[in-house]
């Protein structure tokens, strides 16, 4: 593992706040990611994880606070700006088009083409070859690059989205719940993919998940969000013996939860 | 455990995919359904009309209406692939025809003097493109369904056409304009003839004779060339260019296309301008061919254009479709619309019965094709 405490973070977020009208989705978030590290971003439903990464990937603009890339302040007006700055996002819904082929999806919006735009000629063969090679590099050998993405398995789709982000120069790779909605075996495929990307050493990965086991398996650093604020953070070593599940549930005690569940069960029985 | 290791058995992912022979690949294409329907219709009409539908004059008349359908259906198809509808096509045709004919009869607006075919066409085109832009802009900005926005323009443009006619021309028709295509090459490329060499060749080979033994038909309508140009350009655009990829991406999943940097709003606005362009070409061919205009021109054409696009394999929900399928659909619809002239036993009502039946069959076929290609999503 690279010595990340002394190296400069690729990306750093300071006092980030986001308000949707009267609603404060994020309140003063500090956060940093280092090359070759997996940073797990954990928190309950509605904690603000997706909002945070939408700001990092240029979909939303922060209400206040700043984003630093390689120590320099960056401002994103569009997802395009963010991707130019090296931030590659794999959304919860993957941003794939099911009716289009693997190749057309891989290069969607960034096609290789010759001639005056936008009527430029697509280099389909070259794009198909690159797509195939990039997918093989992180572990999937697709049989037919003209296959529609809708026919791929969930794990293959994740891999496609990740390969695409890396190919287009992502130095910070953001994965929003990449293992949710997948079968056991495909979850492992995705974790292996994450591990392969991590071993390259030049890419920082932000990994959002609700799965404590997955986070422990691959993450080097953890940040816990609850109600739009950071309620805990640390490296894998720091958190040894800490109750990760407690922090993931937004600070609620598991024993409290058990009591609450018991109360619901009893009231249900009383009503019937 | 090791016995079950798939890697050890030497099987690769690529081995799981059976591409099949050349025929299987052809049968997987989305325009297969439209192609077979077209072949059946051609054969049926050729037989029922005793070959009259395919003689020199029959071919010319059929291709004239096929070209008209093809021109507007191509625009409608591309727009549908991008996930939008345009119900204003028919009214736009009426508006553009009115605009050109009125300029030719009454002179350019603002006292700019008499109009020529060139100025009348380009001034009209500027207006229709501006309206197309406005429709697109309204759809993109408001987030309203294009169905409702263009429905509003269907009424608005038709009404505007009638009002302008009555205010300036007193009557809602213009007829007896000079035959511009005789002197103006520009009017000729819309209203004149094309493929004269084909008919000359036909004559030279001993066919194409009238009763006196002279050459009978001299050529096809010029609009056939417009149709081939527009369809050809659209087919190449969709299959081979960056813009084509953007159009597919916009219709398939707009948000993911946007997230990947596809300019989805520009794509949609441009395509509303494309349907306006196709409507204007349609109207110009009509005006310069017949030297007339009528406020009712183009009525219901938007629905026929959509029906042809659907029969050609375009998905109502966007993201999928081919221009070649629309070519087949236009041939089918044109032949059947014209069948009343060649088959004495039927009238126009049969055409509408046919359209209803074919539309339903096509939608079911398309759904099947889509499921096969996409694995049922
Ligand atoms: N565009 C928006 N307008 C108003 N409120 C929003 C908007 N986007 C998110 N929110 C609110 O911000 C809060 C945080 O949402 P967010 O999607 O970031 O949660 P999350 O941590 O990703 O949850 P999950 O684990 O369920 O994905 C939620 O209460 C949500 O309702
Ligand atoms: Mg989320």
pLDDT at B1: 39
- pLDDT bin (cut points 50, 70, 90) of residue B184 is very high
Higher per-residue confidence, B358 vs B57? B57
Q: Quote the domain boundaries for residue A127.
A: 11-239
- Domain of B367: which CATH number? 1.10.3470
Which sign does the torsion angle of CA B160, B164, B167, B172 carry?
Answer: negative
For the segment A88-142, what is each residue's pLDDT rounded down to a tens digit?
888 767 678 888 999 999 999 889 999 998 899 999 999 999 999 988 887 778 8
In what helix (H) or strand (E) does residue B187 lie, and over which residues does it extend? helix B185-191
Which ligand neighbours the alpha carbon of A45 most closely?
Answer: 1
- Asked whether residue A162 is domain-assigned, the answer is yes
- Minimal CA–CA distance to B317: which of B251, B244, B245, B243? B251
Alpha helices in B49-88 (DSSP H): 56-81
- Asked whether residue B111 is domain-assigned, the answer is yes
A56 lines ligand 1 (CB under 6 A): no
* CB pair distance less than 8 Å for A142 and B262: no
Residues A32 and A69: their CA atoms lie apart, in Å, by 10
A209 touches B at CB < 8 Å? no
The whole-number average pLDDT for the span B38-42 is: 91
Task: Let me know if A121 is exposed, middle or buried by CB neighbors in 10 A (0-12, 13-18, 19+).
Answer: middle
Residues B255 and A100: their CA atoms lie apart, in Å, by 14
- Asked whether residue B43 is domain-assigned, the answer is yes
Question: Which one of B17, B245, B374 has the shortest CB-CB distance to A98?
Answer: B374
Residues A88 and A107: their CA atoms lie apart, in Å, by 14
CB A225 within 8 A of CB A48: yes
Closest residue to atom 10 of ligand 1, CA basis: A25
Q: What percent of chain B has a predicted confidence (pLDDT) above 70?
A: 93
A58 lines ligand 1 (CB under 6 A): no
pLDDT at A142: 80
Residues of chain A with pLDDT under 50: 1-4
- Kindly give the pairing relationship between strand A229-235 and strand A87-90: unpaired
DSSP string, B277-342: HHHHHHHHHHHHHHS-EETTTTTTHHHHHHHHHHHTT--TTSS---HHHHHHHHHHHHHHHHHHHH
Q: Quote the domain boundaries for residue B95.
A: 8-374
DSSP string, A176-221: ESTTTT--HHHHHHHHHHHHHHHHHSS-EEEEE-S-HHHHHHH-SE
B10 touches A at CB < 8 Å? no
A125 touches B at CB < 8 Å? no
- Minimal CA–CA distance to A196: which of A162, A154, A238? A162
Residues A65 and A45: their CA atoms lie apart, in Å, by 23
- Asked whether residue A259 is domain-assigned, the answer is no
Question: Which one of B242, B249, B257 has the shortest CB-CB distance to A122?
Answer: B242
CB B93 within 8 A of CB B282: yes
* Dist. CA A185 → ligand 2 center (Å): 23
- Asked whether residue A271 is domain-assigned, the answer is no
Higher per-residue confidence, B377 vs B223? B223
| Domain count within chain B | 1
pLDDT, chain B, mean: 89
Residues A143 and A140: their CA atoms lie apart, in Å, by 9
B375 touches A at CB < 8 Å? yes
ipTM of the complex: 0.80
DSSP state of A13: E
CA distances (Å), origin B227, targets A74, B26, B66, B95, B281: 50, 25, 9, 20, 10
Task: Specify the ligand 1 atom closest to the Cα of A43.
Answer: 21
Cα dihedral B32/B36/B37/B42 (nearest 10): 140
pLDDT at A27: 93
| Domain count within chain A | 1
CB B84 within 8 A of CB B270: no
Higher per-residue confidence, A145 vs B231? B231
- Asked whether residue A107 is domain-assigned, the answer is yes
CB B266 within 8 A of CB B63: no
A47 lines ligand 1 (CB under 6 A): yes
The strand ranges marked E within chain B are 173-174, 193-194, 220-221, 293-294
- Minimal CA–CA distance to A98: which of B371, B325, B15, B27? B371
Question: Which one of B244, B249, B261 has the shortest CB-CB distance to A97?
Answer: B249
CB B62 within 8 A of CB B217: no
- Kindly give the pairing relationship between strand A204-208 and strand A172-176: parallel
- pLDDT bin (cut points 50, 70, 90) of residue B6 is very low
- Asked whether residue B3 is domain-assigned, the answer is no
pLDDT at B4: 45
* CB pair distance less than 8 Å for B245 and A104: yes
- Domain of A99: which CATH number? 3.40.50.300
Residues B103 and B341: their CA atoms lie apart, in Å, by 34
* Dist. CA A46 → ligand 1 center (Å): 5
Residues of B with CB below 8 A from A123's CB? none
- Asked whether residue A254 is domain-assigned, the answer is no
pLDDT at A169: 84
For the segment B60-96, what is each residue's pLDDT rounded down to a tens digit?
999 999 999 999 999 999 999 999 999 999 999 999 9
Beta partners for A40?
A207, A222
Upper half-sphere CA count for residue A61 (Cβ side, 13 Å): 7
Q: How long, in residues, is chain A?
A: 272
Task: Specify the ligand 1 atom closest to the Cα of A47.
Answer: 21
Give the predicted TM-score (pTM) of the model. Answer: 0.83
- Asked whether residue A95 is domain-assigned, the answer is yes
- Asked whether residue A6 is domain-assigned, the answer is no
pLDDT at A244: 72
Whether residue B164 is predicted with pLDDT greater than 50 in this model: the reply is yes
Residues B111 and B116: their CA atoms lie apart, in Å, by 14
List all residues of chain A from 220 to 239 with a beta carbon under 8 Å from chain B: none
Q: Which two tokens stand for residue B348?
A: 């126009």
- Asked whether residue A251 is domain-assigned, the answer is no
């Amino acid at each position: 593992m690279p010595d990340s405490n002394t190296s400069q973070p690729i990306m750093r977020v300071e006092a980030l706040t986001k308000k949707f009208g009267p609603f404060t989705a994020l309140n003063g978030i500090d956060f940093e990611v280092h090359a070759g590290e997996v940073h797990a971003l954990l928190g309950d439903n509605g904690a603000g994880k997706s909002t945070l990464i939408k700001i990092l990937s240029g979909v939303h603009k922060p209400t206040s606070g700043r984003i630093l890339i390689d120590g320099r302040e960056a401002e994103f007006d569009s997802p395009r700006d963010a991707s130019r700055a090296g931030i590659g996002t794999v959304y919860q819904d993957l941003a794939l088009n099911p009716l289009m082929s693997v190749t057309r999806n891989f290069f969607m919006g960034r096609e290789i083409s010759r001639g005056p735009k936008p009527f430029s000629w697509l280099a389909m063969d070259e794009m198909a070859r690159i797509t195939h090679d990039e997918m093989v590099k992180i572990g999937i050998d697709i049989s037919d690059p003209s296959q529609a993405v809708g026919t791929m398995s969930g794990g293959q789709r994740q891999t496609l989205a990740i390969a695409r982000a890396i190919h287009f120069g992502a130095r910070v790779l953001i994965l929003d719940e990449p293992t949710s909605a997948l079968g056991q075996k495909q979850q492992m495929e995705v974790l292996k993919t994450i591990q392969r990307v991590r071993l390259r050493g030049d890419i920082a990965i932000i990994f959002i998940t609700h799965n404590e086991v997955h986070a422990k398996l691959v993450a080097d650093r953890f940040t816990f969000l609850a109600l739009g604020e950071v309620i805990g953070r640390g490296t894998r070593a720091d958190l040894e013996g800490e109750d990760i599940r407690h922090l993931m549930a937004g600070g609620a005690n598991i024993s409290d939860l058990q009591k609450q569940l018991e109360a619901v069960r009893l009231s249900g029985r009383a009503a019937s | 455990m090791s016995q079950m290791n798939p890697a050890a058995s030497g099987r690769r992912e690529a081995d799981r995919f059976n591409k099949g022979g050349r025929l299987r690949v052809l049968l997987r294409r989305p325009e297969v359904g439209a192609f077979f329907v077209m072949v059946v219709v051609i054969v049926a009409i050729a037989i029922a009309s005793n070959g009259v539908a395919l003689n020199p004059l029959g071919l010319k008349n059929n291709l004239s209406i096929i070209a008209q359908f093809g021109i507007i259906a191509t625009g409608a198809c591309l727009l549908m692939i991008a996930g939008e509808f345009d119900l204003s096509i028919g009214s736009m045709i009426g508006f553009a025809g009115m605009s050109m004919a009125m300029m030719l009869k009454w002179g350019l607006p603002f006292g700019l003097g008499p109009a020529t075919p060139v100025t009348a066409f380009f001034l009209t085109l500027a207006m229709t493109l501006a309206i197309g832009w406005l429709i697109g802009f309204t759809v993109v900005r408001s987030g309203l369904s294009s169905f409702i926005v263009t429905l509003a323009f269907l009424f608005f443009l038709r009404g505007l056409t009638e009002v302008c006619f009555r205010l300036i021309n007193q009557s809602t028709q213009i007829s007896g304009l000079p035959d511009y295509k005789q002197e103006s090459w520009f009017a000729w490329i819309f209203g004149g003839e094309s493929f004269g060499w084909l008919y000359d060749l036909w004559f030279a080979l001993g066919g194409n004779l009238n009763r006196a033994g002279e050459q009978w038909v001299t050529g096809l309508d010029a609009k056939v060339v417009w149709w081939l140009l527009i369809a050809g350009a659209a087919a190449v655009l969709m299959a081979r260019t960056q813009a084509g990829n953007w159009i597919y991406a916009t219709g398939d999943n707009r948000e993911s296309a946007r997230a990947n940097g596809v300019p989805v709003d520009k794509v949609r606005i441009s395509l509303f301008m494309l349907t306006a362009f196709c409507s204007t070409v349609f109207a110009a061919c009509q005006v310069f061919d017949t030297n007339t205009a009528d406020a009712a021109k183009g009525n219901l054409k938007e629905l026929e254009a959509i029906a042809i696009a659907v029969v050609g394999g375009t998905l109502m929900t966007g993201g999928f479709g081919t221009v070649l399928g629309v070519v087949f659909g236009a041939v089918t619809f044109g032949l059947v619309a014209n069948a009343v002239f060649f088959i004495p036993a039927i009238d126009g009502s049969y055409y509408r019965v046919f359209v209803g039946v074919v539309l339903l069959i096509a939608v079911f076929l398309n759904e099947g094709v889509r499921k096969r290609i996409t694995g049922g999503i």
